[in-house]
Amino acid sequence: MYASRMGNLPPYLFARIDEMKAKQRKLGADLIDLGVGDPDLATPPHIVDALCTAARDAKNHHYPDYAGLPAYRSAVAGWYKKRFGVTLDAGKEVLALMGSKDGIAHIAEAFVNPGDYVLVPSPGYPVYRTGTLFAEGKVHEMPLLRENNFVPVLADIPKKVAQAARILYINYPNNPTAAIAPAGFYKEVVDFAREHDIVVISDNAYSEIAYDGYRAPSFLETKGAMEVGIEMHSLSKTYNMTGWRIGMAVGNADVIAGLGRVKTNVDSGVFDAVQHAAITALSGPQDCVKDACAIYQERRDVLVRGLQSLGFDVPLPKATFYVWMPVKDCMAFSGRLLAEAGIVATPGVGFGASGEGYVRFAITRPVARIQEAIGRMRGMDL
Ligand SMILES: *Cc1c(COP(=O)(O)O)cnc(C)c1O
- List, for residues 65-114, the tens digit of each pLDDT value: 999 999 999 999 999 999 999 999 999 999 999 999 999 999 999 999 99
Beta strand pairing call for 247-251 and 229-234: antiparallel
pLDDT band at 117, cuts 50/70/90? very high
Beta strand pairing call for 165-170 and 117-122: parallel
Q: CB under 8 Å to 283, separation ≥6 — which residues?
A: 75, 78, 79
> Is the CB–ligand 1 distance for residue 234 below 6 Å?
yes
Mutate which of 101, 180, 206, 324 for ligand 1 pocket (most atoms within 8 A of beta carbon): 101
Q: How far is the CA of 100 from the centre of ligand 1 (A)?
A: 6
Average pLDDT, integer, range 10-31: 88
Q: How far is CA 43 from the centre of its chain?
A: 18
CA quadruple 194, 195, 201, 207: dihedral positive or negative? negative
Nearest atom in ligand 1 to 236's CA: 7
> Is the CB–ligand 1 distance for residue 231 below 6 Å?
no
Structure confidence at residue 146 (pLDDT): 97
Architecture of domain 4-43+287-378: Alpha-Beta Complex (3.90)
Burial label, 73 (beta-carbon count in 10 A; 0-12, 13-18, 19+): buried
Average pLDDT, integer, range 211-225: 98
Task: Choose among 130, 135, 88, 131: nearest CA to 114.
Answer: 135
Q: How far is the CA of 1 from the centre of ligand 1 (A)?
A: 31
Instruction: Tell me which amino acid residue 315 is.
Output: P
Q: Is the pLDDT of residue 293 over 90?
A: yes
CATH code of domain 45-283: 3.40.640.10
Q: How far is the CA of 101 from the centre of ligand 1 (A)?
A: 6
* Alpha helices for the chain (secondary structure H): 4-8, 13-26, 45-55, 70-84, 100-111, 126-134, 159-163, 185-196, 225-228, 253-264, 272-283, 287-309, 330-341, 367-378
Nearest atom in ligand 1 to 175's CA: 13
Nearest atom in ligand 1 to 320's CA: 15
Output the average pLDDT for the chain. 97
Q: Is the pLDDT of residue 11 over 90?
A: no
The domains of the chain are located at 4-43+287-378, 45-283
Q: Classify 170 as helix, strand or coil.
A: strand
Q: Is the pLDDT of residue 127 over 80?
A: yes
pLDDT band at 12, cuts 50/70/90? confident
Q: Is the pTM of this model over 0.85?
A: yes
Structure confidence at residue 285 (pLDDT): 96
CA distance 285 to 323: 29
Q: How far is the CA of 52 from the centre of ligand 1 (A)?
A: 25
Structure confidence at residue 195 (pLDDT): 98
